[in-house]
Each structure stands twice: as C-alpha cells, then as structure tokens.
Amino acid sequence: MIELNTVMLRADNEQDLSRAAELIKSGELVGIPTETVYGLGADGLNVSAVAKIFKAKGRPSDNPLILHISEPSQMEQLCHDIPEKGWLLAKKFWPGPLTMVLPAKPIVPKVTTANLDTVAIRCPKTESTRKLIELAGVPIAAPSANASGKPSTTTAEHVLHDMDGRIAAILDGGACEVGLESTIVDLSGNKPVLLRPGGITPEELLDVLGELEIDKAVLGQIDSDAVVRAPGMKYKHYAPNAEVIIVSGNANDAASYVRRRYNEQTAVLCFDEELSLYEGLNPTSYGSEEDSMSLCAGLFSALRTLDKPEIHTIYARCPSGGGAAYAVRNRLNKAAGFCIVSAKEDTE
Ligand code: AMP
Ligand code: MG
C-alpha cells in the first residue's frame, strides 16, 4: 500500500470541511467525528472508494458498512419498503446514535452491503459531519476508524494512531460524546430485531416499536461458521492485544481475586468507585458504575491506554443492569471473547 501523508483537519473550520468534502468526492478516505465513535469515511456509492475502506482497516469483505446521511428523507434514495416504524424511529432518534437496516435500492453498491440485499443507514448527530455529507453530496460509508478487530477510536489521535499513512485526512471534532458504536435495529423482516446495542437503549426502542427481538449475537458468542444476519457480527471485536478477563462478583471479592493473580504483566480496568480497592496495582478506571453513559464514553479509550506490549492480561469489571450498561456489557464481553470468571467461586 502506498504511504499517504495523512492531513489533520478541524471540523469547526469551514475551509477544512470543504477540503474534506472534496477528498470524499474524489474517492479518498477521511476519518470523521460522530457522536458514537470516529468513522472511516468514503463515498458510499463509489465502489473503488468503498474498497479502500476495507483495505485500510484490514476489514473482511463480508462485513457490511453503515451509510451516513445528512437528513432522514435521504433514506428514500437508498432503501425501499421503509415501514412506518422506520419513520417513527427516525423522528424520535435522528439525528442520533441509531442505525436502521432496511431493504437496499440498486443504487447501493454490493461492496458497501457485503452482498446483502439490505443496507444499514444512520443520520449522525454531529453537526459538522452532517454538513460534510451535505457538501460531499453523497452518503458517506463509514465503519469505525480502527484497525479491524481493535477497540474503536473515540478521538482524532486514536484514528491517527491506527490509520496514519493509510488515509488522506482526519477531521478532528474532539472526543466522541457517546463513545460506543450506534445501536443497530433491523427493520427488514417481520419483527424488529436488535443487532447491536448502543447509545439508544433497548428500553427506548421498545417504547416506540412495541416489540423487539434480540439477536443471539448480542448476548453470546457466534461460532465462526454460523449463519448470522450481518456477517460482521461473528468477528472478534474491540480487543486489545492483551487477553481481557471479566471478573464478576461483588467489588471486594473481585479485588481479592485480582490481587492473588496480579503481576507486572497484568492490568486492572475498573469503576471509579473501586479504584481504592486496587491500591498499589495501578488500576485504570473507565467511568462511574452509577453512570453507565460515563462507562460508554470511557471504555474504548481505556482499553487503548492499557494496550501496551508488556501487558498480557487485563482484569476488567463489567456493569450489570439495562439501559446503556447493556451496551457496555456487550462490547466488553466481545473484547474478552466472553471470558468471564467468578470471583466468588475462587474464594469458596
Ligand atoms: P462498524 O461500523 O465497524 O461498527 O460495523 C458496521 C456494522 O453494522 C457491521 O459489522 C454489521 O454488524 C452492521 N451492518 C451493516 N450493514 C448491515 C446490514 N445490511 N445488515 C445487518 N447489519 C449490518
Ligand atoms: Mg467497528
């Protein structure tokens, strides 16, 4: 791959926005801020531009992309048979961290949908990014702007770390507000199905939809040869190089469990409230257990901070409960490859 000179642009500068739009129009890749995570953006209707995304990330070609639009009505250019429920969700949650899967129109290239006959669409909340989409005049295909399989990027610096030399530019819009990828709901079948939890909670979706199935990939591990709705759901995700082990149980049992195993090759990822229990072990907190949104915002950044060659094992604490904690649990479970140990059993 030819080394590019990756330029850092500012999302709050009009000239920089225009420059980013020109790059998208000419088939180049631009790292873009959104309220969820940073995206690796390209013209979603341009086959060779979309192919560059897969190459830059090292992303398997059977993992489909999300198309980002600047206003809800653009759904009609890209999808057909949009159910009433789709418009209701758009009205309630767009612009925002919700992606809908709908039947794709032929204008959407197969490389974007990974050969599926459905397409994922989102109207992001970040105003500068909607402006960029408008200036580019095309929907922007954007997966998370991390190297495939690694924790997602929530700052422009993270994007530079993973993508320097591989993309034309990065639009710096500061740290992402939500910090986890969008909630994905599939509206292409008989019943709405939650494919990925995120900033919009299952409870909020149920309020509008009245019914919601939860795809089994959300709750458990998918065999590598299993047939899934979105092929991307089966891949290892969000994982640092170190092995992540979730330690379940109450705070004191978990701290004792970790202390018994601690050495210079281990790291601790916990809640603000538990920092004092790990004194002397150099713990890293990713937010407050009482505030799930803070955990969403802090998780990927903390996993990246702990991703050092000398660290072989990360012992992590995971929140319980619904709402945004549900999305945090989903990401952490996947980062850990569903490796969960019980601190209590260890003490018995
Ligand atoms: P990323 O942007 O890296 O978080 O990945 C986008 C994710 O959106 C994919 O991994 C899929 O899980 C999902 N997705 C995209 N398009 C579709 C689709 N047509 N049907 C189902 N899921 C999709
Ligand atoms: Mg991703």
pLDDT digits (tens, 9 = 90+) for 122-134: 999 999 999 999 9
Question: What CA–CA distance (Å, rounded) separates 244 from 238?
Answer: 11
Positive or negative, the CA dihedral 270, 276, 278, 281 is positive
How much is the pLDDT for 137?
98
Mean pLDDT of 55-69: 94
What is the CA(145)–ligand 2 centre distance, in A?
A: 7
Q: Which of 37, 63, 115, 188 to mutate to test the pocket of ligand 1 (most atoms within 8 A of CB)?
A: 63
Instruction: Point out the ligand 1 atom lying closest to the alpha carbon of residue 142.
Output: 2
Residues touching ligand 1 (Cβ under 6 Å) are: 63-64, 66, 101, 113, 116, 118-120, 143-144, 181, 184, 186, 195-196, 229-230, 232-233
Distant-in-sequence, close-in-space partners of 221: CB < 8 Å, separation ≥ 6: 337, 338
Nearest CA to ligand 1 atom 1: 143
Instruction: Point out the ligand 1 atom lying closest to the alpha carbon of residue 113.
Output: 19
Token duo for residue 246: 């979730």
What is the CA(38)–ligand 1 centre distance, in A?
A: 15
Instruction: Point out the ligand 1 atom lying closest to the alpha carbon of residue 120.
Output: 16
How much is the pLDDT for 346?
66
Instruction: Point out the ligand 1 atom lying closest to the alpha carbon of residue 104.
Output: 19
Q: Residue with structure tokens 């089994």?
A: 216
On the 0-12 / 13-18 / 19+ scale of CB atoms within 10 A, 212 is: middle
Mean pLDDT of 209-219: 91
Nearest CA to ligand 1 atom 5: 143
Q: How confident is the model at residue 254 (pLDDT cuts 50, 70, 90)?
A: very high
How much is the pLDDT for 231?
45
Ligand nearest to the Cα of 100, by number? 1
What is the CA(31)–ligand 2 centre distance, in A?
A: 13
How much is the pLDDT for 245?
94
Residue 197 and residue 326 in contact, taking contact as beta carbons nearer than 8 Å = yes
Ligand nearest to the Cα of 182, by number? 1
Question: What CA–CA distance (Å, rounded) separates 328 from 296?
Answer: 6
How much is the pLDDT for 278?
98
* Mean of all residue pLDDT scores within the chain: 93
Q: Which of 53, 68, 98, 99 to mutate to test the pocket of ligand 1 (most atoms within 8 A of CB)?
A: 99
Nearest CA to ligand 1 atom 10: 232
pLDDT > 90: what percent of the chain? Answer: 86
pLDDT > 70: what percent of the chain? Answer: 94
Residue 79 and residue 116 in contact, taking contact as beta carbons nearer than 8 Å = no
Q: Which of 101, 122, 238 to mutate to test the pocket of ligand 1 (most atoms within 8 A of CB)?
A: 101
Mean pLDDT of 23-34: 98
Q: How confident is the model at residue 1 (pLDDT cuts 50, 70, 90)?
A: low
On the question of pLDDT at 344 being above 50, the answer is yes
